[in-house]
Structure formats: C-alpha cells, structure tokens
A and B are shown apart, each in its own frame.
Chain A
Amino acid sequence: GQQLNQSPQSMFIQEGEDVSMNCTSSSIFNTWLWYKQEPGEGPVLLIALYKAGELTSNGRLTAQFGITRKDSFLNISASIPSDVGIYFCAGQEMEYGNKLVFGAGTILRVKS
C-alpha cells in the first residue's frame, strides 16, 4: 500500500518558534487531513481540507491543500509545550474507494 512522504521525521524546537511540516504523494487526493497523537492516545483530527488550494486555520494551526492535490503542509505558530506529540498527515485517495493513507508522522518536541 502507498504511504505519503512526510517530513521532517522529527523536530526539537524552542518554545515560541514556528513549526512547519509537509506531506507529498505521487497520487492525487480529494481530501487531506492532519492529526495529532499524544502519548497513550489515538490520533485526533486537527484540520480537514477538501478543496485544492484551500487554506484553513484552527487557532495557531494553519494547513493548506496543495494546488496539484499531491501535497499539503501544516504550520504551527508560536509553539507551546502542549504542542508536543506526533503529527500525521493523511490523504484520501479517489481511485481506491476513498481509502485513507497516512504519512509516517512528524515527532515534535518543544523545549521551554
């Protein structure tokens, strides 16, 4: 099965810094989703994107659905310690029954 290319694999940043991560794919997706997973928990949806070019914000988080429909990025502004976790992108493939494909995740650590 296909996986998305998610980068970076991990980040260790200073509190207050901005964070950027992205996902790319060779397939076209009709939906991009960004999830956050905290230790001992299942992933929780942060942002959903449904249209190419769409830019959506959720508090300090901003995500965009790439115009080619093959990529997406997530930005976190002014990071705080509770942003720590693993962030996953997920794309929904049009050609495979709307199957959800996940990236390998970006581990975010914040130094206060």
Chain B
Amino acid sequence: EAQVTQNPRYLITVTGKKLTVTCSQNMNHEYMSWYRQDPGLGLRQIYYSMNVEVTDKGDVPEGYKVSRKEKRNFPLILESPSPNQTSLYFCASRWGEGNEQFFGPGTRLTVL
C-alpha cells in the first residue's frame, strides 16, 4: 500500500530534550515536506526536500533540523524542544512540483 508513515504518533517530552520524528514514504517520491498544524493557522511548512541531500527552509524553520540521506526517509529533528513547538506535525511527499501531495497520519507533540 502506497503510504507515508510517521513515528511516533504521540510524544510528550520536556524542554531541551532532543527528539526525532521519523518519516518514510514508499512511493519513490522526490519531494518531501514537514508541516506543523496549529489552530487557526492551518498548515505551515517547516522544511522541504527536493531530493536526496537537497533541503531548504519553509516558512517556520526555527528550532528544527532535517536531513535527507535516503530518498524514502526525511526525519525531523528538534535539538532543544521548547513549549512553543507543541503542535501537530505532518510529513508529506509528492512526485514533483505539480503533483498531488500525500500526507502522513500526523505526530502530536507536547513539550512541557
């Protein structure tokens, strides 16, 4: 089944404790993105990647890192999480610039 998977689905952590949210897609998509969803703000792009080893900042990159060492994986790293990073995070992938974007199921992160 074609899909985007994220882990973990739920995470509660404390300020400053490094964490990684994994994302994997099995559709051989070139483009992958991370979004955060907050009430009233919709989906805001954090980082995106156009291919292996090619990443760029989205609208809200502060406090986040990403890497794209393999085509299928695009982990999101929070080196020192803070409470304002409490949010619902989505990973997404697509073939190319003009194509449908598939979303993962989401990761709900709470930073205390």
Chain A interface (Cβ within 8 Å of chain B)? 1, 3-4, 6, 9, 30-31, 33, 35, 40-45, 48, 50, 88, 90, 92, 97-100, 102-105
Is the CB–CB distance between B104 and A31 below 8 Å?
no
The complex places the Cα of A2 from the Cα of B104 at a distance, in Å, of 23
Cross-chain contact A105 with B106 (CB below 8 angstroms):
no
Please name the residue on chain A nearest to B50 by beta carbon. Answer: A97
Q: How far is the CA of A99 from the CA of B103 in the complex (A)?
A: 15
Interface check B90, CB cutoff 8 A: yes
Report B's interface with A, CB cutoff 8 A: 4, 33, 35, 40-45, 48, 58-60, 90, 92, 97-98, 100-106
Contact of A43 among B41, B58, B103 (CB under 8 A): B103
Verify B98–A88 contact, CB threshold 8 A: no
Choose from A30, A33, A104 the contact partner of B41 (Cβ within 8 Å).
A104
Complex contact A88–B43 (CB within 8 A): yes
The reply to whether A45 and B100 form a contact with Cβ atoms under 8 Å apart is: yes
What is the number of contacts between chain A and chain B, taking CB atoms within 8 Å? 60
Q: Which residue of B lies closest to A99 (CB)?
A: B45
Please tell me which one of the listed residues A1, A42, A97 contacts residue B59 in the complex, with CB atoms under 8 A apart: A1
Q: Chain B residues near A90: list those with CB within 8 A.
A: 43, 101
Residues of B within 8 A of A6 (CB): 42
CA distance A16 to B33 in the complex (A): 37
Task: Tell me how far the C-beta of B93 lies from the nearest C-beta in chain A, rounded to whole angstroms.
Answer: 11
Residue of chain A at shortest CB distance from B92 = A42
Given A31-B98, A42-B104, A42-B106, CB of A1 within 8 Å of CB of B58: yes
A-B contact pairs, 13 of them (CB 8 A): A4-B42, A31-B98, A40-B105, A42-B90, A42-B103, A42-B106, A50-B98, A92-B97, A98-B97, A99-B48, A100-B45, A102-B43, A105-B42
Residue from A40, A45, A99, A102 within 8 A of B42 (CB atoms): A102
Closest to B105 in A: A42
Complex Cα–Cα for A110 and B60 (A): 33
Compute how far the CA of A104 lies from the CA of B42 in the bound complex, rounded to whole angstroms.
4
